[in-house]
């Protein structure tokens, strides 16, 4: 019989209690918050052994639970990282102070002067800036593919990226923010293998799983190397914290965790506790939000002032995108875009009329949020690049929450009358 306490348990079950043992917290059913910046040692020799285990991975305390200083790690991070890894079906996890802290740490860990990065478009504006504005200042290059289900197109983009320099990272956001464009994870893993054979070292496939979250899509099961999630969104789930997580193989995560010690962008004890608690309900919260999203998307699809709705649940049978969706996603999510006839003026008139829906960026909270993509989340992305990614001047992003669906539709209906 397996001695692994998580053997045979489903992610929904692991999300409720895995990672924390009441014995660690004086019998408390829920984990305490260890509000401390530093940890005490029983002797000088013990202190040396703790440091040896942390920095060299040797000595008598390897594998023991010991802490040094909260920037290097603390009990709340241990609980959270164990749970995150278990939910994603990965060996290990590392948690950061935001989703962008996680993305930046991957870039800094793996990109050197002259290296190349391949990414999709559209992609979250912060990631776009990271690879197209910040990292090029250190001498790296970025190349984009536009359809992550088109094998020939992605291969051509990978070849173009390799022509610029050694391809080190393939960054995949699927579904992509804000249009819910889908990327084929199996294809990306195949392309990484091919690139590896061509250039002699395989690039890492990094998937941003923020938009569907850990229950509706399981990238690690498709063989990707790192799965990144902005925990600020569905996992946190209440728009009251910022956090990021990365899961993957032990050797990759160990490397990131060791570098986090120096970058200093770990997740603090209180926020670690909040995320751990929120993970318990993310499966049921997202189910409800996804039901609501379908109702809202159907209403918008049939509205005469709406030119189109990019919602995964509407992907047509027989298309490449639908085949990928059926293979890769368990549900359509609750963040999607709709495109108004007209442009910014029409969009702004509608937004200024909303009463229940909140005009705010971000997604995955209990409340429904709406924003005009071109003037907010993708403000810093050049217009032609936005258009290439399917973001028009009339594109609005919706993150559907947990309210009653009829109230959401009623608010959208009255606001659309102002357009």
Ligand X SMILES: Cc1ncc(COP(=O)(O)O)c(C=O)c1O
Q: Which residues bind ligand X (CB under 6 A)?
A: 98-100, 124, 126, 173, 177, 208, 210-211, 230, 232, 242, 244, 362
The order of strands in the sheet holding 92-96 is 92-96, 244-248, 226-230, 204-208, 167-173, 116-120, 141-145
- Relative orientation angle of helices 405-416 and 282-301, to the nearest 10 degrees: 40
CB of 22 to ligand X, least distance (A): 30
Nearer to ligand X, 242 or 274 (CB): 242
Nearer to ligand X, 217 or 405 (CB): 217
Q: Torsions phi, psi of 144, nearest 5?
A: -115, 145
Cα dihedral value 97, 102, 107, 109, nearest 10? 80
Nearer to ligand X, 79 or 124 (CB): 124
- Peptide bond preceding 131: is omega within 30 degrees of 0, i.e. cis? no
Burial class for 3, CB neighbours closer than 10 Å (0-12, 13-18, 19+): exposed
Paired tokens of 25: 């917290």
Distance of CA 243 to the CA centre of its chain: 10
* Paired residues of 396 in beta bridges: 338, 372
Distance (Å, rounded) from C-alpha 254 to C-alpha 259? 9
Nearer to ligand X, 189 or 241 (CB): 241
Find out whether 206 and 171 touch, Cβ atoms under 8 Å: yes
Q: Torsions phi, psi of 42, nearest 5?
A: -75, -20
CB of 232 to ligand X, least distance (A): 4
CB of 390 to ligand X, least distance (A): 15
CB of 126 to ligand X, least distance (A): 5
CB of 179 to ligand X, least distance (A): 12
Taking CB atoms, the residue at the shortest distance from ligand X is 99
Nearer to ligand X, 165 or 214 (CB): 214
> Tokens 């942390």, residue?
54
Nearer to ligand X, 50 or 181 (CB): 181
CB of 242 to ligand X, least distance (A): 5
Residues 6+ apart with CB under 8 A from 48: none
Find out whether 169 and 176 touch, Cβ atoms under 8 Å: no
Nearer to ligand X, 179 or 232 (CB): 232
CB of 371 to ligand X, least distance (A): 11
CB of 82 to ligand X, least distance (A): 21
Nearer to ligand X, 158 or 371 (CB): 371
């Amino acid at each position: 019989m397996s001695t692994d306490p998580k053997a045979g348990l489903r992610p929904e079950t692991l999300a409720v209690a895995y990672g924390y043992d009441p014995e660690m917290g004086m019998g408390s059913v829920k984990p305490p918050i260890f509000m401390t910046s530093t940890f005490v040692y029983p002797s000088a020799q013990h202190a040396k052994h703790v440091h040896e285990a942390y920095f060299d991975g040797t000595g008598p305390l390897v594998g023991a639970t010991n802490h040094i200083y909260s920037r290097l790690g603390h009990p709340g991070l241990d609980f959270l990282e164990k749970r995150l890894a278990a939910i994603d079906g990965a060996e290990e996890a590392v948690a950061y102070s935001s989703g962008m802290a996680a993305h930046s740490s991957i870039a800094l860990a793996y990109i050197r002067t002259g290296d190349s990065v391949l990414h999709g478009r559209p992609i979250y504006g912060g990631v776009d800036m990271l690879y197209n504005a910040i990292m090029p200042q250190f001498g790296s290059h970025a190349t984009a593919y536009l359809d992550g289900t088109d094998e020939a197109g992605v291969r051509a983009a990978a070849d173009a990226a390799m022509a610029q320099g050694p391809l080190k990272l393939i960054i995949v956001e699927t579904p992509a923010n804000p249009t819910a464009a889908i990327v084929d994870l199996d294809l990306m893993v195949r392309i990484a293998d091919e690139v590896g054979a061509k250039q002699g070292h395989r690039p890492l496939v990094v998937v941003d799983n923020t938009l569907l979250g850990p229950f509706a899509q399981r990238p690690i099961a498709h063989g990707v190397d790192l799965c990144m999630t902005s925990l600020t969104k569905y996992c946190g789930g209440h728009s009251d914290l910022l956090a990021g997580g990365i899961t993957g193989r032990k050797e990759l995560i160990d490397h990131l965790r060791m570098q986090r010690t120096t970058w200093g962008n770990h997740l603090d004890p209180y926020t670690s506790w909040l995320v751990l608690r929120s993970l318990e309900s993310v499966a049921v919260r997202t189910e409800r939000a996804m039901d609501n999203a379908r109702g809202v998307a159907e209403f918008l699809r049939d509205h005469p002032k709406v030119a189109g709705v990019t919602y995964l649940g509407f992907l047509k049978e027989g298309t490449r995108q639908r085949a990928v969706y059926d293979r890769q996603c368990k549900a359509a999510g609750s963040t999607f875009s709709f495109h108004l006839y007209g442009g910014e003026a029409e969009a702004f008139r509608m937004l200024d009329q909303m009463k229940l829906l909140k005009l705010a960026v971000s997604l995955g909270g209990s409340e429904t949020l709406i924003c005009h993509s071109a003037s907010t989340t993708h403000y810093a992305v050049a217009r032609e690049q936005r258009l290439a990614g399917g973001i028009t001047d009339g594109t609005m992003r919706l993150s559907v929450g947990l309210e009653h669906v009829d109230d959401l539709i009623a608010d959208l209906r009255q606001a659309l009358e102002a357009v």
